Amino acid sequence: MSMTRMRCVPLFVAAVLTLAGSRVQAALPEFTQLVKDVSPSIVNISTTQKVRERQMFPGMPLDPNDPRSEFFRRFFGQPPGGQQRQARSLGSGFVISSDGTILTNAHVVKDADEILVKLSDHREEQAELVGLDERTDVAVLRIKAKGLPVVKIGDSDRLEVGEWVLAIGSPFGLEYTATAGIVSAVGRTLPSDAYVPFIQTDAAVNPGNSGGPLFNTQGQVIGINSQIYSRTGGSVGLSFAIPIKVAIRAAQQIQKSGHASHGYLGVTVQPVTPTLAQSFGLDRPRGALVADVTPKGPAAKAGLGAGDVILAFNGVPLVDAGDLPPLVGSADVGAKVSLRVLRDGKERTLQATVGALPNSDVVASPGAGRSEPAQGGPLKLAVVDLDELQRQQLEVPKGGVLVVAVGDGPAARAGLARGDVIMRVGDDVVKNASHFKALTGKLAAGRVVPLLVQRRGNPLFLALTVPKD
């Protein structure tokens, strides 16, 4: 009896393992048919651009008939004034309408003198640039062709981490290369592209894949491959795609008016650290801390101020400060939105009208402060009043104190540095050095207080812990 049971155990385990293995095998996607179905709608893009080479000997004549030009051509391979050459680049794209409308990355075709599109049937067509939007890195092309196969557009908002995805493009010029992976993260904000909530994947994407589609297992485009993170120039499993919802919105605006518009609030925000959360009375780090508000901008008109913590934008909770720019950027210009903010430890709701994002942002250029020895004190911090020249250089019209030295102590641990201008201590606006000394002198020991600092032209909140000794 016991022998029979002993023999059954391995058979049972083997059956379980076989069943488990079949489930794993069944869960793996099969991309063969998908690649066949979608490849006809994918294109290769090559561009040429005239680039003037750097002069070897600036100031020398450019006339090719000059005898000295022949000397430099013979011995150095080029005339002294430099010459034009054609720079070429490769990328990918995909057809979104049968009349020849194509989506790709803006950086693939920007400043190109000629754009050539190669179709899956090996036809080559000259492309017209309808328009591009550098903020979302989306460009719309058009070729003179009819009856083209088009991609199916998916819903990038429903994408989840762990889903299988397929990328097709021309890495290093190798046409119609298919690579697969999973979604590593969604809503990823990159420092240089705050208005795009990128899809992060581990699919092998390399130079030449830019502008190509990212598919889900249903054969629907859910993103445009745009960037990679790499120390070598090749794939290391960190690639980023523009959500197709963001791309289509920009493309529709480009087709309608030649350019894309983005929502604008007129605020500078920063992350809420654990110490800042404590100083503002938050239960945990969350939301976007307002460091500065543009005068007469939409946020200022709504009553938003520095020191407010935006907890939700139009009903969408903000986990981090990076969640806000994509939400604002995707909002329609002129739309009415609600802002749930924390101010003075209490939550309130403000109403704002979304403005249009300006074409460029002006950043102040700070000057250097006077060098003075540290004055010690419990904060280990030395500050002085700003003179008129410093106010002009730092664009601080009134108030504030200039940090001239930071010792080893609470100020350094808070992150203060020489050259910072302290504008506020808690809710109090700093008038001058003596006022700053009075404000900090009456702070309770052990309290964590937010300091509003201007650093290199940018506002920043720092959390200062008052020493107990």
pLDDT 10s digits, 101-144: 999 999 999 989 999 999 999 999 999 999 999 989 999 999 99
- Domains plus CATH for the chain? 42-143 (2.40.10.10), 153-257 (2.40.10.10), 263-356 (2.30.42.10), 381-465 (2.30.42.10)
**Using CA atoms, how far apart are residues 57 and 60, in angstroms rounded to an integer?**
6
Exactly one of 41, 46, 92, 137 is catalytic; which is it? 137
**Active site annotation includes 107:** yes
**Using CA atoms, how far apart are residues 424 and 439, in angstroms rounded to an integer?**
10
Task: Indicate the length of the chain as a whole number.
Answer: 469
Range among 7-11, 36-40, 203-207, 380-384 rated most confident: 36-40
According to DSSP, the β-strands at 220-228 and 152-153 are parallel
Exactly one of 39, 89, 99, 107 is catalytic; which is it? 107
Instruction: Kindly give the residue spans of alpha helices, DSSP state H, lying in 228-304.
Output: 244-257, 274-280, 298-302
Cβ count near 466 (within 10 Å): 15
Give the pLDDT of residue 23.
Answer: 52
Long-range contacts from 436-442, C-beta under 8 angstroms, 24+ separation: 436/383, 436/401, 440/379, 440/466
Tokens of 24: 């794993």
Looking at the chain, the whole-number percentage of residues with pLDDT higher than 70 is 81
What pLDDT, in 10s, does the model give residues 139-168?
999 999 989 999 999 999 999 999 999 999
pLDDT at 26 over 60: no
Q: Where is average pLDDT lowest: 34-48, 289-303, 405-419?
A: 405-419
According to DSSP, the β-strands at 193-201 and 213-215 are unpaired
According to DSSP, the β-strands at 428-429 and 401-406 are unpaired
Strand partners, 50: 86
**Active site annotation includes 210:** yes
When pLDDT is averaged across residues 35-41 and rounded to a whole number, the result is 95
What pLDDT, in 10s, does the model give residues 423-464?
999 888 999 888 888 888 888 888 889 999 988 778 889 988
Exactly one of 41, 46, 92, 210 is catalytic; which is it? 210
Q: Where is average pLDDT lowest: 42-51, 68-77, 218-227, 337-346?
A: 68-77
Q: Do 7 and 1 contact (CB within 8 A), yes or no? A: no
